[in-house]
């Protein structure tokens, strides 16, 4: 939360020096954000990630669409959201530099949790549905990933299942609970079609926000 407090302070100071002081009414009425969540939309630009087998849809585009819906769902419920990207481009010209910049954003001071959005692909085209990964050995990350898994299962009418331990760059965030969400399989015909449906994207985004907030609200005040 430290970062959001700084943003409020700088907004206030700018408001004092600017003639129109556009921030003042907002400051008087608004509650401070409840939580600081970092959202990472995987890939982008030259790195499109997986591609849909039937339609050629790009993972990087779906990550942005579903990620932005998730961001707005969290903001509507009182969170401050920092994105690793806000458009279709990568964060740098090479994968190495892109990941370094992504990692620096994910390690921003004061975050309550980080959430990375991706799409899956697998050789067996029957495999479908979302999966959540946490950093193996990270208890907080495991709890976050399980809350998101539970919320997704409830929203989609799937049987309960466990979140998956893993070892991913975007879940190795020191001292911050982190989850990597694979929203569905671009190798499965049903998933590939549904992941491009705005209503299904909204359903996924709402469930991810539900799971993140269930986790954050269950923790003692930081």
Point out which residues bind Zn ion (CB under 5 A).
Answer: 42, 49, 118
Tokens encoding 62: 């779906």
Q: Nearer Cβ to Zn ion, position 59 or 210?
A: 59
Minimum distance from CB of 134 to Zn ion (Å)? 16
Neighbours of 69 (CB within 10 A): 20
CA distances from 178 to 89, 140, 141, 222 (A): 23, 8, 5, 16
**Secondary structure element (H or E) that encloses residue 169, with its range:** none
DSSP string, 98-154: HHHHHHHHHT-TT-SEEEEEEEE--SSTT--S-EEEEETT-HHHHHHHHHHHHHHHH
Minimum distance from CB of 219 to Zn ion (Å)? 28
Q: Nearer Cβ to Zn ion, position 7 or 92?
A: 92
Q: Nearer Cβ to Zn ion, position 69 or 118?
A: 118
Q: Nearer Cβ to Zn ion, position 48 or 214?
A: 48
Minimum distance from CB of 4 to Zn ion (Å)? 28
* Residue with nearest beta carbon to Zn ion: 118
**Secondary structure element (H or E) that encloses residue 166, with its range:** strand 164-166
Q: Nearer Cβ to Zn ion, position 183 or 207?
A: 183
Minimum distance from CB of 63 to Zn ion (Å)? 7
Give the residues across from 151 on adjacent strands: none
Neighbours of 200 (CB within 10 A): 17
Minimum distance from CB of 59 to Zn ion (Å)? 5
Q: Nearer Cβ to Zn ion, position 49 or 184?
A: 49
Minimum distance from CB of 119 to Zn ion (Å)? 6
Q: Where are the beta strands (DSSP E) in 25-121?
A: 35-41, 79-83, 113-120
**Angstrom distance (rounded) from CA 7 to CA 86:** 19
């Amino acid at each position: 939360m430290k970062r959001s407090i700084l943003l409020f302070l700088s907004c206030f100071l700018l408001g004092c020096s600017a003639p129109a002081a556009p921030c003042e009414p907002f400051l008087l009425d608004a509650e401070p954000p409840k939580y600081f969540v970092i959202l990472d939309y995987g890939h982008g630009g030259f790195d499109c990630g997986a591609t849909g087998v039937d339609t050629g849809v790009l993972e990087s585009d779906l990550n942005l669409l579903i990620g932005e819906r998730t961001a707005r769902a969290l903001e509507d419920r009182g969170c401050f959201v920092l994105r690793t990207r806000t458009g279709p481009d990568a964060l740098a010209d090479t994968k190495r530099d892109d990941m370094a910049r992504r990692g620096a954003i994910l390690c921003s001071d004061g975050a309550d949790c980080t959430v990375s959005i991706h799409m899956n692909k697998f050789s067996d085209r029957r495999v479908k549905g979302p999966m959540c990964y946490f950093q193996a050995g990270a208890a907080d990350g495991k709890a976050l990933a399980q809350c998101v898994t539970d919320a997704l299962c409830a929203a989609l009418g799937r049987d309960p299942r466990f979140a998956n331990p893993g070892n991913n760059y975007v879940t190795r965030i020191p001292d911050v609970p982190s989850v990597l969400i694979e929203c569905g399989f671009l190798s499965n015909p049903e998933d590939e079609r549904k992941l491009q449906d705005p209503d299904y994207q909204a359903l996924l985004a709402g469930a991810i926000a539900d799971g993140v907030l269930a986790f954050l609200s269950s923790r003692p005040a930081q």
